[in-house]
Copies of this chain bind each other. A is one copy, B any other.
Amino acid sequence: MRKLDPVKHEKKRQEILGAAMRCFLCSGLKGASTADICAEAKISPGHLYHYFDSKDAIVASLIEGRLEKVAEQLKAGIQSESSIVETLAPELEAQPGGAAAMALIFDMMAESKRNPEMGKIVDSHNRSIRESLVEMLRYGQSRGEVEGKLDLEVTATTIMALMHAAKVVAMQNPKEADKALPVLRQLLGHLLTTPAESAKAGPPRTKKTVARVRA
């Protein structure tokens, strides 16, 4: 009778996390209440706190889980013998789960900028993902797949941004996505094989400059 089933405990935890995810997908991070989550998980409101310290802890758990999965997949890709473009291809596609999943990701990104606790989690995982990408790129350089003079940190940052942007655009323009995503992959290929330009974006055709955006 020592620790009657820590495995059962973990299972319930995961059940609750699942219920929470479903709620968050429907109503957003702030829109879903702990009461909603409890109802979805079919537990009493108090019982939630047997498994999590707070609603934030649930969100943090969810974010962490998500980022861990991404990081794992990336590392797996690195260890495979695939080319970088090939390895990253799945990330340059629509977010499975569609618009709701994407909205939740936006929520999480926004939240992580406001809640320092979550900011830490997200930052640390982003860093770890970036490091994986850098490693992947360095290996790519050794194989000749990646241009040798590239700043790998900056390139990794750019790749992460493209990965995210691809998902957004696939969501906003599902009709064009089939054609636009390959273009993004092509841009990725260009990015990896072209030395950075020396801070000039090509000779401007005209002299007239545009009023700066004030948004």
Which residues of A approach B to under 8 Å, CB–CB? 27-28, 30-31, 66, 69-70, 73, 76-77, 80-83, 85-87, 89-91, 93, 95-97, 99-104, 106-107, 109-111, 113-114, 123, 126, 130, 143, 145, 151, 153-155, 157-158, 160-162, 164-166, 168-169, 171-173, 176-177, 179-180, 182-191, 194, 196-197, 199, 201-202, 204-206, 208-215
Contacts and interface: CB of A to CB of B under 8 A. Distances in A.
A202 B162 CA distance: 18
Contact of A190 (B106, B107, B111, B187): B187
Contact of A82 (B100, B189, B205, B214): B205
A190 B41 CA distance: 49
Nearest to A201: B185
Contacts of A104: 110
A145 B60 CA distance: 47
Given A73-B213, A126-B172, 5 more contacts: A80-B206, A95-B213, A103-B110, A110-B110, A157-B179
A206 B109 contact: no
